[in-house]
Structure 1
Amino acid sequence: MKELYKLSVGLTLVSDVYNKAVELAKRRGIFWPSYEIYGGIAGLYDIGPVGTIIKNKIVKLWRKHFIGSTAGMVVEVETPMITPEKVFEASGHLKNFTDPVVQCNKCHKVYRADHLVEEILHKSFESFTADQLNSVIKENGIKCPSCSGDLGDVRYFNLLFETTIGPYTGERGFLRPETAQGMFTAFKRVYESYRQRLPVGIAQIGRVARNEISPRQGLVRMREFSIMEVEFFMDPKDESVPLEGIENVKVNVLKAQTKEQGRQDLDSFTIRELVDEKIVIHPWMAYWMARASQFVSDLGINEFYFEEKLPQERAHYSKQTFDQIAIVGGEKVEISGHAYRGDYDLSGHSRVSGQDLSVFKKYDKPMVVKKKSVIVNRQKISSLPEAKDIMKRISNATVEEVEEMLKKNVTVGSVPISSVVSIIEREEKVSGEKFFPHVVEPSFGVERSLYLVVVNSYRERKDRVILSLPKDLAPYDVAVFPLLEKGEIVNKAKDIYLNLSKRFDVLYDEGGSIGKRYARADEIGVPFDITVDPQSIDDSTVTIRDRDSWDQVRVKMDSLVDSLEKLFNGIELSTLGEKASSNE
């Protein structure tokens, strides 16, 4: 058993780390609030030039873990943001994609109700209904934080952004809140182009929009952002999952059962143990949790766990959900969600669209099976006034549902359905079966990942700031500086810049003192700085400086590429050359 992480730093310090990281991000072109000249809009952020490079490298790393490492099981698609109403009718979002909202009766400020009471009472109310939240607000005398006015009743607010497809009285549509539905509606096309093989994963990275009630925590809760997610389609009866190479990956889990007991302890499992001990509903859940663990570790975030959601905490489509919780800057923040969606989406879209989204699985050899069928006594039902209503009642029902109606002696009007409908069972030789594939979904927010990487990498040393990014995520691999603005030194520095640019992402800067240039490079996370100085002209050597330690060594110019490749492969800087004195 492992004790659940508890905040070991005061809230002031936690906020200070996040606030400093946000100020750094604004100052160094990583991200900032959108439309600042008009006062900004909550939940909307621009990603700056440096931030865009880091973000793209995060996306590249995600593709490596979730597409490239899967031996061709996962393919990538793009689908539109604008979505017809029918799609969200089938997916359940029109009815279920809601959050509780409460408004002040005095100043009319609007709050997300569960977040408001959480901030005041310091415990979770995530699964509470509107009525329960009303009771909590009244019992605790919670007032409006802005004006101390009374709060109105809690109600539900749908987070979908509505639009019109076409001019004037066009078709009603919405901006997608997730990329998933485009992948579900495109499933049959991908499945057929993939030679009708299961399992198959469909990955998508794209923009989504959610009309959040109270966006907060910088890039953690936004109204428009990018998502990286996979919808992984598989046969639920097939549990042969390739765990080789990941079965010994260890993860910490806060089980739903533990939460129900009022405890917050973490249990440690290997991926194999998650499967063998039935902690996960299907082995593919454990597979994607392992991939997520490796990805988050490569983001430089080493403290995280998976929290299993209680039934009332899960989304309407999920049979099991684990949130991956990262502990960054002393705070716990969800970095990914893992949902077992079952056949909810494919069966729903098949029902509403009228299109068959099931697949056929051929058996190795034909099997004799017992099949139940619904039989309607046409002669008897044709004379009944209730005939149309009876047929409507049973036509959209499964055999099992009709059987349940007969057991309960359901009537339509005064006519028992059992008087005209029966179930028969007969043996049949079949060569295969049709079924809706089940879906496992790992999902990450791109901007949220960027935000957490920046906060997690924030360091202070003496009076300076360092963004200690993992080397693979740094916006530039190396910076090149001439120590002095003298022609020969500047020309040599530019030659080195052009040569290194063939192999690395290189930043060149000759403005300001060398100390200020080092500081600027440190603040955007450049791992190594190369400085050309007067000695470089005499003996063809340069210094390489490490971002985190500030140590410098002197190496030959003609070995620069080799030296940098060694550094990116984990070789210590001190082994590459003679220690150089600081020129800052």
Structure 2
Amino acid sequence: MSMETEGERLAELAKRRGYFFGASGAYGGAAGFYTFGPQGASLKSNVEDAWRDRFTVQEGNFEIEAPTIMPEPVFEASGHLDGFDDMLVECPECGESHRADHLIEDATAIEEAETLPIPEVEALIADHELQCPTCGAHLAGESVDDFNLMFETNIGPGSSTPGYLRPETAQGIFVEFPRIKEYARNSLPFGATQIGRAYRNEISPRKSIVRTREFTQAELEQFVDPERDEPALESVADVAVTLYPAAEQEADDGDYVETTVGAAVEEGIIGDAWIGYFLGIAQEWYERIGVDMDRFRFRQHLAGERAHYAADCWDAESEVDGDWIEIAGFAYRGDYDLSKHSEYSDDEFTIFRQFDEPKTVETAVVEPDMSVLGPEFGGAAGDVKSALEALAERDPDAFEGKTVTVEVDGETHEVDVDVANFRVETQTVSGEHITPHVIEPSFGVDRTVYTLLAHAYEEDDVGDETRTYLSLSPDVAPTDVGVFPLVSNVERLVERAEGLVDDLRESGFSVVYDDSGSIGRRYRRQDEVGTPFCVTVDRDGLEGDGPDTVTIRERDTARQVRVPVDDLVAELRAVERGGQPFDDLVDRYDLVESGTDA
């Protein structure tokens, strides 16, 4: 390995081979924005498809696509206007803004500085004599302020409606809950997913595509009845996981807990079965798409770290370049979101829960005499009526006296109980309206791509040279197969190779054709972008007495086997999509020992 860091190697390869690079370079670029090149866009799309298959299709969930711009009241209800902040410190010399918690984490052993109160952060900056990373000026004594991360915009011209680019895809699902529940036949549990762009005006974007201002999320909102619904925990009970609970993080000798999902839920390490269920699914999914499980863990949020809506939250984290990065979050959001949107909007965010048997209940009812309220309270009469109805539902005992008092817009109004027409009725009801609880697995697609590339990066020696390759899972690799004629000046080889490209594409494979340079150089190019298999057409395969053959080369081991052309599609489908080991091909066909890999 070279002396470059893992991140530096990855950034160089990503730019050179078309995975990702800084956007708008022709105009000097803009920090926090990246373009995915041909390889990166394909890898990212494959990750999204793999996530969709597991978390939408296999779970039987609905997928929606909501707008990325939403009106201001949505984010007032969700709490983002007041609570979606990071800590900002501005350099007094160069004016550059920095995330104060990141400066502390970079310079000290403190890992989660964002959980600290601002006065303590200011004190740590002074105590450690932290300096501006841009110009070196001292930051002691500079104020640390909350900075809201949302991008603001206007909807429409003139005196337009204020809006924001969504900082997460979740609100699009919550806002549309009244419609989505109809597609679920008003029956819990059900889930809604969304894969799309989100925007956060990060103070100091860093680590390439790990922390950007525009990124892709894949989120599932699972709506459940907390008193009745339980997940199929037995299906993931035996899944082994590496956990880093809050208690272990806070202990002097804290360590990871190696256990299973079932045991962790039973012992209370994971406090909610739904969270445990999704951790188990995610563990298996990450392993399937190629995350190195020796560099992967689930870390529980500390109390001061949790979002305002989360009763509990765990992060899936991957290790890259010596740092742990969050690649997914699993939060128990309770009924916070639906209750807030019910409070702020004019729609219904509940589900009707049917009783096992009808129940007889007493219901407080008021039918105010508006002929009295109107003249007495004027324009406030309607609000007084509503306040009386709400009070009867909330506190029937308030109507026991001769008068009852309600408050409207800060003003107290007294109404005769006789005018309120209060009474208690006996009714038979078949059910009740409840506000579902929400469990949210939220995946960062860009960070997952970064993790896969970092964990797939390998170097070895083939022949007398060092080879770089990406050991990407066939499930997500940008290209399935590379097809080459051994030499490009023999018409028969070229025609056969071009025909195989057509056949493979018609069978659903992503194929690249390459006839430029030596066969060894072509292999190296495909190795470096992670193509799992290469097919080579040579004279030996077309000039024998038997059926035409070609070679299939496996990326990771550089082994080659010779297979009949007529069997090529079926064999590639078996090893690439059916999970058949390449060793099976080696056992059944001739292993090619030629020097064509050089």
TM-score by length of 1: 0.88
Deviation at 1:297, TM superposition (A): 1.0
Structure 1 vs Structure 2 CA RMSD: 3.4
Q: What runs of 5+ residues in structure 2 fail to find an aligned partner?
A: 399-404
Deviations 1:110-159 (A, max 9, x none): 10000011101132212012111111112222222333323220000000
Deviations 1:355-383 (A, max 9, x none): 2211211101023567789999x99xx99
The residue aligned with 1:108 is 95
1:557 to 1:487, Cα distance in 2 relative to 1, 3 A: same
Amino acid at match of 1:122: A
For the residue of structure 2 that corresponds to 1:62, the secondary structure is helix
Contact 1:329 1:456 in 2 (8 A): no
Deviation at 1:394, TM superposition (A): 9.0
In structure 1, distance between residues paired with 2:563 and 2:236: 40
Asked if residue 48 in structure 1 is aligned to residue 37 in structure 2, the reply is yes
1:17 to 1:394, Cα distance in 2 relative to 1, 3 A: farther
The residue aligned with 1:498 is 502
For the residue of structure 1 that corresponds to 2:136, the secondary structure is coil
Deviations 1:41-88 (A, max 9, x none): 111000111111111111111011101211x2x100010011100000
Asked if residue 549 in structure 1 is aligned to residue 561 in structure 2, the reply is no
Asked if residue 531 in structure 1 is aligned to residue 536 in structure 2, the reply is yes
Asked if residue 150 in structure 1 is aligned to residue 138 in structure 2, the reply is yes
For the residue of structure 1 that corresponds to 2:258, the secondary structure is strand
Deviation at 1:402, TM superposition (A): 11
In structure 2, distance between residues paired with 1:36 and 1:500: 36
Contact 1:394 1:402 in 2 (8 A): no
- Mapping for residues 120-519 of structure 1, pairs under 5 Å: 120-124=107-111, 125-151=113-139, 152-301=142-291, 302-303=293-294, 304-368=296-360, 429-462=428-461, 463-485=466-488, 486-503=490-507, 504-519=509-524
The residue aligned with 1:83 is 70
For the residue of structure 2 that corresponds to 1:472, the secondary structure is coil
The residue aligned with 2:570 is 562
In structure 2, distance between residues paired with 1:115 and 1:76: 35
1:541 to 1:432, Cα distance in 2 relative to 1, 3 A: same
TM-score by length of 2: 0.86
1:543 to 1:201, Cα distance in 2 relative to 1, 3 A: same
Contact 1:551 1:582 in 2 (8 A): no
Contact 2:366 2:388 in 1 (8 A): no
Deviation at 1:91, TM superposition (A): 0.2
Deviation at 1:536, TM superposition (A): 2.1
The residue aligned with 1:6 is none
Amino acid at match of 2:289: L
In structure 1, distance between residues paired with 2:479 and 2:361: 63
For the residue of structure 2 that corresponds to 1:184, the secondary structure is helix
In structure 2, distance between residues paired with 1:200 and 1:96: 28
Between Structure 1 and Structure 2, how many residues are aligned? 564
Deviation at 1:562, TM superposition (A): 3.0
In structure 1, distance between residues paired with 2:154 and 2:136: 39
1:567 to 1:415, Cα distance in 2 relative to 1, 3 A: closer
For the residue of structure 1 that corresponds to 2:49, the secondary structure is helix
In structure 2, distance between residues paired with 1:512 and 1:492: 18
Deviation at 1:240, TM superposition (A): 2.9
> Percent sequence identity over matched residues?
39
Asked if residue 98 in structure 1 is aligned to residue 85 in structure 2, the reply is yes
1:126 to 1:426, Cα distance in 2 relative to 1, 3 A: farther
For the residue of structure 2 that corresponds to 1:451, the secondary structure is helix
In structure 2, distance between residues paired with 1:392 and 1:132: 46
In structure 2, distance between residues paired with 1:200 and 1:226: 23
My pick for the range that moved more, 40-49 or 540-549, is 540-549
Deviations 1:435-491 (A, max 9, x none): 111000001111111111111111112322101100111122211111112212212
For the residue of structure 2 that corresponds to 1:126, the secondary structure is helix
Amino acid at match of 1:578: D
Contact 2:7 2:320 in 1 (8 A): no
